[in-house]
Structure 1
Amino acid sequence: MRGYSVLLGMLLVLIALPVRASDLTAQLTRFFQVRDPQHAAGMKVVVRTPEAQWPACEAPRFTLPGNSRLWGNLSVAANCGENRRYLQVQVQVTGNYLVATHALTRGSSVTASDFRLQSGRLDTLPARALFNSNGLNDAVVLRDILPGQPVTLSMLRQPWRVKAGQKVVVIASGDGFNASGAGQALNNAAASQWVRVRMGNGQVVSGRVDDDGNILITL
């Protein structure tokens, strides 16, 4: 009879384990889906931490550092009152990302037609991968890109709107006034980037490049 009770207890433990694992995974999945609703449908969470280190309560409160990534390998705090456990999880996400349609050589200019969307695992992509071709017209390739290779922000740059040594117009504006003057750009800059300008009197100022190549300063 004693042996039967022990065996029954062991069977009940084995039966209960998948339920608890399923519950924790479901709670973590809901937590990450709320955090990234755009990819909620294709999301899967895998708990890497051994079960012996899981939180003891049935409904832990999950928290992440403010600068955490949306996907991939993450450490999430599971809080049960004053008790805190850290869980190592892998957040898997499927969606569309940008790849090159053909070989792109360093220094060449590109258009949106040089890229296409491909479906796959987003959490395994390189850092700063691109998910659409918005704003890529006339971008300059910074290194060779192979056909089908995921495209990242570090592989491209916007064309220079202003180049070092170029004569530019500086427009300063403030509360109720506008003034302009000529100067010489001291560095390369694309539209919306900062550029330093040496004015005719030798003073160096900084401003943002507008779409027309003028340098805007707000006082």
Structure 2
Amino acid sequence: MRSATPLLVGLFGLFSLQTPAADLTAQLNQFFKARDAQHADSMQVVLRTPAAQWPPCETPHFSLPGNSRPWGNISVAANCGQQRRYLQVQVQVSGQYVVAARQVTRGTTLASADLQLMRGRLDTLPARAVLNPQQAIDAISVRDIPPGQAVTLSMVRQPWRVKAGQNVMVIAQGEGFNASGEGRALNNAVVAQSVRVRMGNGQIVNGKVAADGNVLITL
């Protein structure tokens, strides 16, 4: 009987490790799916951290840094009261993403015919991959994009709403104050981007480009 005791202890120890593993993985899946309900059905979280480094409580509180990526290899803080452990997980997600439908040369204004949707692992795509064609339609490519290449936001820019040398209307608004005047843009800018404008009196002001092309200054 005594010789069987270590074996029984080992078996109980194995079961005690397996159950928390399933519970912890389930909790992590629930945490990440709640953060991204759109892709929850195709999401799977794989726990990479060894059991010896898991949090000591049954229901840890998970948190992520503000700049954490949504998928892929991620470090998750698991808090048990004053104790904190970091878990390494891989968040696997499948879904649709945008690729070039044909060869796109630098400087091309993208149209729907230049793009197509494919389905695959989103967590393996380059950073800032385009998932919706509307994010890229009417944008201008800043590099050549071969057919089948996943399109990212770093490969395109929005068209200039204001160009350097263009006459623009500057509208200044504040509490109980509203004034406008015409000036000349000193740099290119897209909507919501900052632009410098030389006014008729020679003064240079800074404002943000509105969708209608006017430059707005808040006082």
Using the size of structure 2 for normalisation, the TM-score is: 0.91
Superposed CA RMSD? 1.8
Q: Distance in 2 between matches of 1:131 and 1:197?
A: 35
More moved, 71-80 vs 139-148: 71-80
* Corresponding residue for residue 160 of structure 1: 160
Shift of 1:87: 0.9
Q: 1:135 to 1:42 in 2, by over 3 A?
A: closer
Deviation at 1:114, TM superposition (A): 1.5
Secondary structure of 1:123 counterpart: helix
Residues matched between the structures, number: 219
Q: Within 2, Cα distance between the matches of 1:177 and 1:58?
A: 59
Aligned to 1:108: 108
Tell me the secondary structure at the aligned position of residue 133 of structure 2: coil
Cα deviation 1:156-175 (Å, max 9, x = unaligned)? 11111221122222233344
Tell me if 1:62 matches 2:62. yes
**2:140 maps to which residue?**
140
Cα distance in 2 between the residues matched to 1:63 and 1:170: 44
Q: What is the distance in 2 between the residues matched to 1:113 and 1:175?
A: 47
Q: Distance in 1 between matches of 2:85 and 2:212?
A: 55
Question: Secondary structure of 2:134's match?
Answer: coil
The alignment-based identity, stated in percent, is 64
Range moving further from structure 2, 22-31 or 133-142: 133-142
Unaligned runs of 5+ in 2: none
More deviation, 205-214/194-203: 205-214
Decide whether aligned partners of structure 1 residues 118 and 25 sit closer, same or farther in structure 2, where only a CA change above 3 A counts: same
What is the CA deviation profile of residues 107-155 of structure 1, one whole-angstrom value per residue up to 9, with x for unaligned ones? Answer: 1111133112211111111111111022533211001111111111111
Q: Which amino acid aligns with 1:124?
A: T
Paired residues of 2:17 and 2:51 also in contact (CA < 8 A)? no
Tell me whether 1-10 or 40-49 shows the greater mean CA deviation: 1-10
Question: 1:36-47 alignment to 2 at 5 Å?
Answer: 36-47=36-47
Equivalent position of 2:33 in the other structure: 33
